[in-house]
Structure 1
Amino acid sequence: MSTRTRRSEPELTFSSKELFDLAVAWITLSVAFALLFAPIHRAPVAIGYFAAMVGLSFVTVGVAFLLHELAHKVVAIEYGQIAEFRADYQMLFLAIMGALVGFLFAAPGAVYHRGRITKRENAMIALAGPITNHLLALMFLPLMIFPSVLGTIGQLGVAINLLLAAFNMIPFGPLDGKSVYDWHKGVFALVFVPSVLLAGYVLLFVGLF
């Protein structure tokens, strides 16, 4: 009687450390983007306006970041991996400092996973994040037709998600694009090219706010 090796059944769980890191990264990114949108060091900004920008960032930037990372985790677990998010506190500090001078490099941390895995499966885990951001951009898109706050949330949600997708598809270092490029250059191009084109359109014709 032959036996077959099976991967363990996937189980989506969160350690207290992971939940803490996710919360810190979410809050820090929201404050960093609020500082970018409402530069309190350059001109007097009302506390209420700055608080509103934090809330706006929490809904748009925070959701884009959180679901991007959770997508990595969910797909990794489906492939039998042990996966957890870990915040990069040095990069979070740099995000705040950069926002104060008008430049923001948002790399709050990553989902680290371990276990036996193929190159294709690793690429699928990487793709999950940018694809999720594209789907979120589609979900935010209808809000852009509304005036006032809803329209602003829609515009910012679309812009942030498209920019995040394009940035993460760069085939360099620990970014998602590198894993996809190493696995299949055709699939990489299929995702990377439209991501960059859409992000370029956002920067040139839509803006962030």
Structure 2
Amino acid sequence: MFELTKRELIESIIVFIVLSICFAISNTRFDANAFISILPIVMIGVGLGSILHEFGHKFVAMKYGYRSEFKLWPIGLLIAFVTSFFGIVISVAGEARIFADDDISDEIQGRISIAGPMFNIALALIFIVIAALIYPFNVHSDIFHLIYLICTVGFSVNSFLATFNLLPLYTLDGTKVLKWNAIYWIAAFAISAGMMLISITIGPEKMVMLFMGG
């Protein structure tokens, strides 16, 4: 059964707020008005992406019978905040710590590690599908337009989160996934990196327009 402690809930909320602020800063820099406008939009995509990423690890770990707790990393939050002023967010704000009495096999560790990025990939795809579905209505309604913006930002942010965490560096998920199964790592990284490149080069808004023939 998936359970959250009071401390996990509080720290999840802190990560949700801080990372949302960081991604808003990275997109607006020192423009206060733009920051205020984009923050509510970013919060849904970033908040859901960051929290579900870690809860994905926790859920799979618990599925294999291990106790898992989300723990924020204050230095990681500081790094995210500082780097946001340079237009990019290096997000290692916390982790789902796994407690085991014996060594966890590379396969189980890999499955637990890939769960987080896969949640981001799935969420990015859900966002872009919703954006495509409401695209014909977004110019006729402020509410639909807001949802459209939230979804396009959510696609970009979650594509980035998946790609970043799949990098085979230091303690990132990619290291453990690659150690377990190189084919799964290549497939997951190719998908997330492809979506991220699309969001950077074409942009999710234009992608939706091309897809809808607009």
TM-score range, shorter chain: 0.7 to 0.9
Q: CA deviation at 1:101?
A: 4.1
Give the total of aligned pairs: 194
Alignment of 1:1-209 (within 5 A): 11-39=1-29, 41=30, 43=31, 45-46=32-33, 49-115=34-100, 116=102, 117-145=104-132, 146=135, 147=138, 148-206=145-203
Q: CA RMSD in A?
A: 2.0
Report the CA distance between 1:207 and its aligned residue: 6.6
The CA deviation at 1:157 is: 0.9
Give 1:119 shift: 1.4
**C-alpha displacement of 1:25:** 0.5
Q: Name the SS of the counterpart of 1:35 in structure 2.
A: helix
Corresponding letter in the other structure for 2:46 = V
- When residues 100 and 172 of structure 1 are mapped into structure 2, their CA distance, relative to the original with a 3 A threshold, is closer
Aligned-pair CA distance for 1:118? 1.9
Q: Quick one: distance in 2 between partners of 1:189 and 1:102?
A: 27
- CA–CA distance in 2 between the matches of 1:207 and 1:34? 17
Query: C-alpha separation between the residues in 2 aligned to 1:101 and 1:192?
Result: 24
- Look up the match of 2:209: none
- Cα distance, 1:23 vs. partner? 0.8
Structure 2 counterpart SS, 1:110:
strand
Q: State the structure with more CA Rg.
A: 1
Q: Which moved more, 1:19-28 or 1:92-101?
A: 92-101
What's the CA shift string for 1:129-154, capped at 9, x where partnerless? 11111111121013323333222111
- Extract unaligned runs of 5+ from structure 2: 139-144, 206-214
**1:32 touches 1:99 (CA, 8 Å); kept in 2?**
yes
The answer to which of 131-140 and 195-204 deviates more is: 195-204
2-structure distance, mates of 1:206, 1:31: 22
Q: Paired residue for 1:3?
A: none
Contact residue 143 and residue 153 of structure 1 kept, 8 A = no
CA separation in 2, counterparts of 1:127 and 1:91?
20
In structure 1, the gaps of 5 or more residues are 1-10
Q: So what's the TM-score if we normalise by structure 2?
A: 0.83
For 1:123 and 1:72, locate their aligned partners in 2 and report how far apart those are by CA, in whole Å: 10
For 1:137 and 1:36, locate their aligned partners in 2 and report how far apart those are by CA, in whole Å.
19
Q: Deviations over 1:41-86 (max 9, x none)?
A: 3x4x33xx53332211211111111111111000001111111111
Higher alpha-carbon deviation: 72-81 or 199-208:
199-208
Give the alignment's TM-score, normalised by structure 1. 0.85
Identity across matched positions, percent: 26
Greater CA drift, 54-63 or 100-109: 100-109
Give the secondary-structure state (helix, strand or coil) at the position aligned to 1:171: coil
